Structure 1
Amino acid sequence: MAFGQPRIEYKTNAQMRTMHEAGLVLSRALDAAVAAATPGTTTAQLDAVFRAVLDEAGAKSNFLGYHGFPATICTSVNEEVVHGIPGDRVLQDGDIISIDGGAIVDGWHSDSARTVIVGTPDPEDVRLSEVTEEAMWRGIAALATGKFVGDVGNAVDDYVSSVQGKPLGILEDYVGHGIGSEMHMAPDVLNYRTSHRGPKIRPGLCLAIEPMLVRGSIETAVLDDEWTVVTTDGKRSCQWEHSVAVHEKGIWVLSAPDGGAERLAPLGVVPVPVP
């Protein structure tokens, strides 16, 4: 028996506009958490700061309670790749932390992540974060110009491979995803080049594009808490993520206040608000 691919949810313009509302709340919450990420702060305190912004806006967290996850953000520090649980860990000078969060407004989801270097930065961590963030934007630009979802991973891989200096690894075990009435939906969005083109890019498609890069091996393991993913060699990692909508006029980065205009302009892409 042949099985089809998981069904992709294509959104109306009105639904995508609501997702943008969720994205704006999420952006403000991440702004607050990033600003609070200083030496001496605990990851639980970052979660509280993030949660307060959602509460004030009347938005819900899509992380809290998700398969039992106990917090509103993931705080992944140093060798932790994704899904770090906020707690009593105190941020130290020189730590690198990825803060990943989401918000729901009227049943529609947003998802975004940023990486912060706490206090005095290690130049190699700065490079890691800058390359990861730019790789994300290259993937987003490919969503505007490509024909298939696989073009996103091709663009990420091509950029990371072209960067001069010590090679950085692209994680393959964790990828981007569709987003809409749920946080994780079809299709998967790979961050690396394969022969699989994926589904066609067409209006109503909304994706969370989230490359994760490491300074060493791409091999990972899950800790005993059954959530936190770490690099097995202890090398540092980084994640950046935005939720993006495709509509009949172009693309719009739902979790960026300017729709991605500033970072996409150098790549020749002009985002257009959802009509």
Structure 2
Amino acid sequence: MGRIHLKTPQEIEWIRESGRIAAQTLLMLEKAIEPGITTIEIDRMGEAFIKKHGGKPSFKGYHGFPSSVCCSINEQVVHGIPNARKLNEGDIITLDVGVFKNGFHGDSAITVAVGNISSDVQQLMKVTKEALYLGIRYAQVGGRLGDIGYAIESLAAQHGYGVVREYTGHGVGRELHEDPHVMHYGKANSGLRLKAGMVFTIEPMITMGSHEVEVRKDGWTAVTKDKSWCAQFEHTIVLTPSGPDILTMP
């Protein structure tokens, strides 16, 4: 664990501005999702929207990632690369967006239903979103990092779901990924003591089956090994003495 930079009030406002653009981008894209749209169209719309609002896409070119919006469909967990694939009725797609503005990043993700989806998949999405907000609730000054992961994992386990372990939440600031690593599983009352001014993402990836994942030949797209579907919701938050404050609100 490297040094964690506690953010100043001004830095927090800059992150909030980037986070707001990320959230607005996701809202715009969510409305555009329908059967027949391709992920490359989604990516182009997202990039244009971010630039129009004075930001830069955080992901494009990051360690060589080719796109502005990660588009992960069904059994794809994270880092899906946009292409000519069309979305079908009944699919789900996770849209992950990062925005860089004023020297700081904001990072957020949502899973969106394409047309009508099965009740099983609706339940997966609902529980994953609940898990995010439960994790946020446990992000309290004086608490511990493990409390967040324990809360998320416990909720997922109640529904027989898996929690992906290879990909974690992370600090956000001048860099897209900073310390600390925020696990979405773990032991209560373990890990780093939480302090005011910490800024990080919570972004549980929850599967309908096993938590095990593998990366496809493109070197980016992670999928569940058992091909079970996966949902993800993500916010960037800052810890304050009066509780966690979500920085990725539209």
TM-score, normalization by structure 2: 0.96
Q: Which runs of 5+ in 1 are unaligned?
A: 258-275
- CA shift, 1:195, in A, is 6.8
Indicate the larger mover: 58-67 or 186-195. Answer: 186-195
Match of 1:65 among 52, 61, 79: 61
Indicate the larger mover: 15-24 or 246-255. Answer: 246-255
Change over 3 Å in CA distance of 1:195–1:246 after alignment to 2? closer
Q: Distance in 1 between matches of 2:91 and 2:107?
A: 23
Q: Distance in 1 between matches of 2:193 and 2:140?
A: 12
Match of 1:87 among 80, 83, 103: 83
Amino acid at match of 1:179: V
Listed one character per residue, the Cα deviations across residues 109-136 of structure 1 (whole Å, up to 9, x for unaligned) are: 1111000110111111101111001000
Q: Distance in 1 between matches of 2:242 and 2:72?
A: 36
Per the alignment, residue 183 of structure 2 pairs with: 190
Per the alignment, residue 49 of structure 1 pairs with: 45
- Large movers: runs of 4+ above 4 Å: none
Q: Which runs of 5+ in 2 are unaligned?
A: none
Residues 1:23 and 2:2 aligned together: no
Amino acid at match of 2:238: A
Q: Distance in 1 between matches of 2:32 and 2:18?
A: 21
Match of 2:170 among 168, 177, 181: 177
Amino acid at match of 1:223: R
Q: Distance in 1 between matches of 2:142 and 2:43?
A: 36
Q: Distance in 2 between matches of 1:171 and 1:94?
A: 23
Per the alignment, residue 78 of structure 1 pairs with: 74
Match of 1:203 among 196, 199, 207: 196
Contact between 1:13 and 1:247, CA under 8 Å: does it hold in 2? no
Change over 3 Å in CA distance of 1:146–1:212 after alignment to 2? farther
- CA shift, 1:146, in A, is 5.7
Q: Distance in 1 between matches of 2:14 and 2:140?
A: 21
Change over 3 Å in CA distance of 1:146–1:93 after alignment to 2? farther
Q: What is the count of residue pairs matched by the alignment?
A: 250
Indicate the larger mover: 92-101 or 191-200. Answer: 191-200
Listed one character per residue, the Cα deviations across residues 173-223 of structure 1 (whole Å, up to 9, x for unaligned) are: 111111111111111101012378222111110010000011111111111
Per the alignment, residue 224 of structure 1 pairs with: 217
